Structure 1
Amino acid sequence: MGSQDDQLHTPILESMQRSSSTGSTFESSSELEKVLSDLQLPWLRRLRTATWIELKLLFRLAAPAVLVYLINNAMSLSTRVFAGHLGNLELAAASLGNSGIQLFAYGLMLGMGSAVETLCGQAYGANRSEMLGIYLQRATVVLTATGFPLTVIYVFAKPILLLLGESSAVASAAAVFVYGLIPQIFAYAVNFPIQKFLQAQSIVAPSAIISAATLAVHLLLSWVAVYKLGMGLIGASLVLSVSWWIIVGAQFVYILISDRCKYTWTGFSLQAFSGLWEFLKLSAASAVMLCLETWYFQMLVLIAGLLKNPELALDSLSICMAISGLLFMVSVGFNAAASVRVSNELGAGNPKSAAFSVVLVNLVSFIIAVIEAIVVLSLRHVISYAFTGGATVAKEVSDLCPFLAVTLILNGVQPVLSGVAVGCGWQAFVAYVNVGCYYVVGIPLGCVLGFKFDLGAKGIWSGMIGGTVMQTLILVWVTYRTDWSKEVEKAKQRLDKWEDKEDQPLLKD
């Protein structure tokens, strides 16, 4: 047998093996494109068949993704609960450290991690499997480097909080809590690229199982550290950091031993250190896009503290934001699913499937959001009693529930469209849209309604809803006007740009 023939046939055999190892995802994706392109089928039957195929693909991604985000939130929430049992000062410190400083790092790292989501998703759809591992490593390098300046912010947490007007006692306690979260920064730097690497391959269930198991370990370790060892706030935050590193380690072990990652992870490579500047620019655009969205409604609470009766406004808004934040995890799960589905289809060269996926994921998420809004409105008079027994706060929450319902409905569409943007690589464009709609229109309009027209929290929230509506309408219009065949070509050009020449196979289609 000739060695030249062996060399020529090896890439073809490897490509066939890779396609087989990806399971039913590629098969279903290809089947979806065939169904949508088959004009001989009756329109209704074509729609019904395509919807069934897409729903199976969608919920296989979205359900575990929602679970992962809910569990990760539950770990952070349980840490605050343990801190709260130490005393009111400790609860305030943990809440401030978590909402003020840790949330900033979380949003920044998660946003930067979405860059690898675009590239990995499109590379996987194009069956350029070997590049996923390179993208994963590049993202980890960039995010780890970002972790060092973030560490400086954590170290100087106390003077920063004092500068923001917090009391010396709360700032000191919050700083202690934040010090224990420093290892968590670098866990984020590794976890988010790994998470996006797995999601791009429609591998989501293992992450959900790992997160659920880690939550149980986290609760046990927190109980031991806080109550048995008496480590206080620093113990609670250190356990949270350890728990995140457990998730990172378990997911990486899965990558190493799983046959599903056999061709996407081929080992460590020095190529991870090439093209870092371009990767940093894409990551920065992703981070700005997500952070502007994350911080937007945090500003609502901050501005409400300047109202005439700030305590009542803050209590009622914090309850509404807690409910919104919990249900927002559902939208985040669909955001991840939309990003994966669109990037995979674009990478695979399936424009009809990409467009159909966009429509269906938005429709499903919107229906779920409407159901959430109806439930909230039906429970508007009693929902606050899950958080506090105050009748005054309950009445204020009841008055704010219509605004909460509108926000929930918008959250059924807006985050999903952001996921579509990540799948297409539109992060920089969406960042500009967010700045204009949120910070040039939404917040100023809210301040005018809240303070000038004396509408209080309702006015502030109304203005910010206006900004979200404007942003959503712009994204809907841009998505509607998208030429998906051109997006397929752009995805191919992006992959050709990012793929290292020495990594390309010997034979190409």
Structure 2
Amino acid sequence: MGSQSKQFTHTTNQRRSSLIVSNGITKGGIFGTVDYQGPEDTAVEEDLEPLENSEESALRASQDQQANEQQPFLASGTSLTPNGDKNKRASRLDSYGTIGIGSGQTDQESYHRDLLEEERDLLVDNKLISKSRQDEGVTPEQREQQIRDTWEEAIESGKSISTTSRRECQVLLKSALPLVFTFVMQNSLSLASVFTTSRLGINELGGITLGSMTANITGFAAIQGLCTCLDTLCSQAHGAGNQQLVGVLLQRCALITLVFFTPILFVWWFWSETILASLIPERELCRLAANYLKVVAVGVPGFVFFECGKRFLQCQGIFHASTIVLLFCAPFNAIMNYVLVLDKRFGIGYIGAPISVAINYWLMAFGLLFYTVFTKHKANPRKCWGGLIKPNQVFRNWRKMFSLALPGVIMVEAEFLGFELLTIFASHLGTNELGAQSIVSTVASLAYQIPFSISISTSTRVANFIGASLYQNCIVTCKVSLILSFVISLLNMSVIYSFRIQIANAFSSDPEVVSLVISVLPLLAFMQIFDAFNACTAGCLRGQGQQKIGGYINVLAFYCVGIPMSYMLTFHFKQGMAGLWYGITSALVFMSIFQSYAVFSCDWTKIIKAAKSRTSEQDRV
């Protein structure tokens, strides 16, 4: 995705900001699975030597990054080594696949050029380089050298290289805007199902809500968490120039994930209705949800291949492929939902919604395959395919893969489960409340995409400044991010409150459901202030490398504050649906306060030292 398109190469593979977007109807995803990585992550491929003799040395080369103190943001790809050996600069740059100027325009070359411009802009802001651009007759290599020399001279003379609020606002918005579009498209896959089934009746809306919730908790969230190990593994292998290893890792992760989830798919097929009936009082809803799971199970392999394929391309610097696929699949999914669910000639009713979802998961997978095979992109992703994996290689080093992926699975599952408990609570209030909860959750999910995009760009920017030891700039970025979050929350709040009647009527024609939705949307509008604030503070924590602190706050907020309060207000104080959202709002207030404190009360020196320590650990692998 575009989240990394503006990332400085100073950031290591382990510190790179990546994201996982919930495909369900819940808000989800405050702490992305890739952002939660343990200290062992830097050595995850140390046992890959039996695969290829060159793998260990290649991976070691990929981890030789990050210079000391305030180096240019380009440092990790093109920096001086600590002893000043400039001869290693070009070779290290080549190991990251950056093609020489004039040999073709690639994503990596464009990315490299963008980094130079960002460094130059900072130097211009600090009056270290003239604003006039007299670049005629200056080669790109000379231009790069000028920027690097100016930066190093500033450091040697003790000058501080600082950013401005205006600069950070521009960078954050420029990085976040493409993400909003991508997130909304992926989120629309579930939105279309909710929208169409709501037209059939309240039971169908409740069934799609319960089925989607169960699929997310027991399947898709964990699949996303497992597949994110490729963000580190494939990036390391490709960065080291070990291209065939990228293809091996892709196949290994996909096959292990399918093997791991085959028993779960059997549960969806044969026992889902019985299990749901033990938790949900409405047997008809359980039957509809079970039918949803049986059909969606057919699309799970396609979803696995899409998630793995997306990372296979992203590690090669190809971030736009999944967006191109979604540009086709998202509208096609909406059309299929209408035709299969509502159309009088071809419609087959409720079951058409999961059929549309399953088909589109496979179309997304085939779309990435089609792109990979036929693209004329200069990066040429086919070079990373060395053929089908050998049977004896499928489960090699699977423990290393799981040790990297499982922390992410745990974090995603905790988030999904905490939020989806509201759906179970709503089902005990009644069918109308369950349908209304589905609509309100969908609106909350859509509204969250904008601050979440800012959060991702913030985590990237903060991590890069920490990598360059410019912690004062991190403070500026964090403050700007919070200001942007407040502006965005006001926008979301105004839209949700002003159009609450139109939103409710767009999703349902049932008067009772519409009335419930209209009564809860003002509370959801108020919640936007803390939801956006929470998203951006979470991004700051990820950039600082304080994911664990954010994770602890997240779990405490949901399971010690939000969920208990939702239960008490809903069932003991008879607040109904409003009680559910009062509880979640209190959890977001809790998270916002404590995450803000963690962001601005941190020891920046300790954070920078920890980043350098991780780098030294990489060098010892």
TM over 0.5, shorter chain: yes
- Whether 1:431 aligns to 2:551 is yes
The corresponding residue for 1:11 is: 91
The Cα offsets for residues 18-75 of structure 1, whole Å up to 9 and x where unpaired, read as 785524432244346547877999xxxx999734433443233212211112112223
Superposed CA offset, 1:184-236 (max 9, x none): 342254045347647xx6x6555433320333555677789898798965753
Q: Distance in 2 between matches of 1:32 and 1:483?
A: 28
**Does 2:404 align with 1:285?**
no
Paired residues of 1:131 and 1:499 also in contact (CA < 8 A): no
Which residue of structure 1 aligns with residue 114 of structure 2?
25
CA separation of 1:463 and 1:376: change in aligned 2, threshold 3 A: same
Q: Does 1:440 align with 2:560?
A: yes
Give the Cα–Cα distance (whole angstroms) in 2 for the partners of residues 81 and 397 of structure 1: 14
Which region of structure 1 is more displaced relative to structure 2, 298-307 or 206-215? 206-215
How big is the shift at 1:87?
9.3
8 Å contact 2:176–2:454 — kept in the other structure? yes
CA 224–392 in structure 1, closer or farther in 2 if over 3 Å, else same? closer
Matches within 5 A, 1:77-476: 77-78=191-192, 94-102=208-216, 104-112=218-226, 141-142=252-253, 145-157=256-268, 158-165=270-277, 166-167=283-284, 169-170=287-288, 172-191=290-309, 193-194=311-312, 197=315, 204-216=319-331, 218=333, 233=352, 235-249=355-369, 252=372, 258-259=377-378, 277=399, 280-307=402-429, 310-476=430-596
Separation in structure 2 between the aligned mates of residue 441 and residue 47 of structure 1, nearest angstrom? 42
Contact residue 338 and residue 420 of structure 1 kept, 8 A: yes
Identity, % of aligned pairs?
20
Distance 1:85 1:100, change over 3 A: same
Summarize deviations over 1:148-199 as a string: whole Å, max 9, x none: 323321221141332121447425522431332221342254045347647x
CA contact (8 A) 1:370 1:409 kept: yes
Q: Which moved more, 1:130-139 or 1:314-323?
A: 130-139
Q: Could you say which residue in structure 1 is the equivalent of 2:77? A: none
Q: Relative to structure 1, is the Cα distance of residues 7 and 260 closer, same or farther in structure 2, using a 3 angstrom cutoff?
A: same
Instruction: Report the CA distance shift for 1:476/1:103 in structure 2 as closer, same or farther (over 3 A).
Output: same
Alignment check: 8 A CA contact 1:225 1:239 kept: no
In structure 1, stretches of 5+ residues that fail to align are 502-509
Aligned to 1:505: none
Partner letter of residue 213 of structure 1? Answer: F
Structure number having the greater helix percentage? 1
Partner of 1:54: 168
8 Å contact kept, 2:493–2:526: yes
The structural deviation recorded for 1:481 is: 2.0
Relative distance call for 1:147 and 1:408 in structure 2 (3 A) is farther
Which AA in structure 1 matches 2:611? A
Instruction: Give, in whole Å, the separation in 2 of the partners of 1:312 and 1:119.
Output: 46
State the TM-score, normalized to the length of structure 2. Answer: 0.64
- Report the Cα offset of residue 129 of structure 1: 7.3
Q: Distance in 1 between matches of 2:384 and 2:365?
A: 22
- The Cα shift of 1:404 comes to 0.2
Give 1:418 deviation, angstroms.
2.9
The 2-side partners of 1:267 and 1:30 are apart by 35
Query: Residues of 1 paired with 2:250 and 2:304: CA distance?
Result: 12
In 1, distance between residues paired with 2:319 and 2:580?
A: 38
Indicate if the aligned counterparts of 1:108 and 1:287 stay in contact, CA closer than 8 A: yes
| Matched residue SS, 2:500 | coil
User: 2 CA distance for matches of 1:113 and 1:214?
Assistant: 21
Give the distance between the partners of 2:602 and 2:161, measured in 1 at CA: 21
- Give the TM-score of the pair, scaled to structure 1: 0.76
2:313, 2:321 within 8 Å by CA — same for their partners in 1?
no
Q: What amino acid is the match of 1:152?
A: P
Deviation of 1:443 after TM superposition, in Å, equals 1.0
Q: 1:23 to 1:330 in 2, by over 3 A?
A: same
Q: CA RMSD in A?
A: 4.6
Distance 2:227 2:191 in 1: 23
What letter matches 2:454 in structure 1? Answer: F
CA shift in 2, pair 1:319/1:220, >3 Å? closer
User: Shift of the alpha carbon at 1:7?
Assistant: 8.7
1:438–1:221 Cα change, 3 Å: closer
The whole-number CA distance in structure 1 between the counterparts of 2:474 and 2:394 is 29
User: Which residue number in structure 2 is paired with residue 507 of structure 1?
Assistant: none
Kindly state the Cα deviation for residue 364 of structure 1 after the two structures are TM-superposed.
1.7
Note closer, same or farther for the CA distance 1:23–1:55 as it changes in structure 2 (3 Å cut): farther
Alignment check: 8 A CA contact 2:233 2:249 kept: no
Residue 464 of structure 1: CA displacement? 2.3
Tell me the distance in 2 between the aligned counterparts of 1:468 and 1:81: 27
Amino acid at match of 2:507: F
* 1:97–1:177 CA contact under 8 A, matched in 2: no
- Seen in structure 2, the aligned counterparts of structure 1 residues 175 and 106 have a Cα distance that, compared at 3 Å, is closer
Q: 2:265 is aligned with what amino acid?
A: Y
Distance in 1 of aligned mates of 2:168 and 2:394? 34
Deviations 1:419-457 (A, max 9, x none): 334444433333322222211221112222222222222
Q: Point out the more displaced range, 292-301 or 433-442.
A: 292-301
> In structure 1, what is the Cα distance between the partners aligned to 2:219 and 2:518?
33
